[in-house]
Structure 1
Amino acid sequence: MNEARETIRFILNGRAMAIDAPADRRVVDLLREDLGLTGTKEGCGTGECGACTILVDNESRLSCLMLVAQLEGARVTTVEGLELLPVGRAIQRAFVEEGAVQCGFCTPGMELAALALLREEPQPTRERIREGLSGNLCRCTGYVKIVDAVERAATDIGGGEQE
């Protein structure tokens, strides 16, 4: 049986990609298995937990629910790409300094959701931070430290987008 494949062109963490893959392959599988970007986690596989969160054209998306064909022409950021952005480094630093990382399974999705939020709203209220992180589940921290970390990152970047 021949599997229909196509070349998908997109930008991944600032790097141009041309991937020959089945159009119906899930993005989470492409990232983890084909590209070795294992920071993107698969938790539930049904879009309920947020562990597979990535940014596609600066919007939070669940990679377990996306097909590779949906990446055509898009700009994709995974947790591995956060270190390339000053605001991403500020988010990562704040998560560590505020104790928002325990087991770490939810951390990549939380950090990417935080990046999407801070790009949209550089100085969010605590309520807005909770809304921005909704859909990302954490079983360890109780969310207070995660909200603290996002609030600190917003303060650290001074409310301005720093690419």
Structure 2
Amino acid sequence: MLPVQIRPATTDDRSFILSLVPRFVEFGSPTERDPDQVIRAIAKEIDRAIISYPTPQNIFIAVDSQGKSLGFIFLETLTDFFTQERHAHISDIVVIPEASGQGIGQALMAYAETWAKARSLSFITLNAFGGNGRARSFYSQLGYQEDTVKYLKRLN
């Protein structure tokens, strides 16, 4: 496991963060979605969060001891549809390919829990593409449970 620090993102991290967005479709895109369309949509949402503040308040960067950026996590506070409880939501999490399997994702996920607890939020949600078995397995190993499942039928 690489030693890692988690720090708030700044607008200077914009290029690094956006450069990782194509990783989201490396394991396939959601049903009936064009990978380029998925990349553009995710990049637009992240970019909006980055430029919203001088220091983005909900995006955090994992860095090594030399300050090299290794990955990021984008956190939000949402309200649960069913219970109306405020909770943390991991909008996006990704690690650079060469740091994959080095514990960076675990460090970012642990940071999300600390972030949520500091805000007195009672649980964390996230979404994973159905075909991304690696991510789904990773989240399960960390104690996350499958919640709702979304279905799609294209009407021609």
TM-score tier by shorter-chain length is 0.3 to 0.5
Task: Normalising by structure 1, report the TM-score.
Answer: 0.33
Indicate the structure with greater strand content. Answer: 2
Task: Normalising by structure 2, report the TM-score.
Answer: 0.34
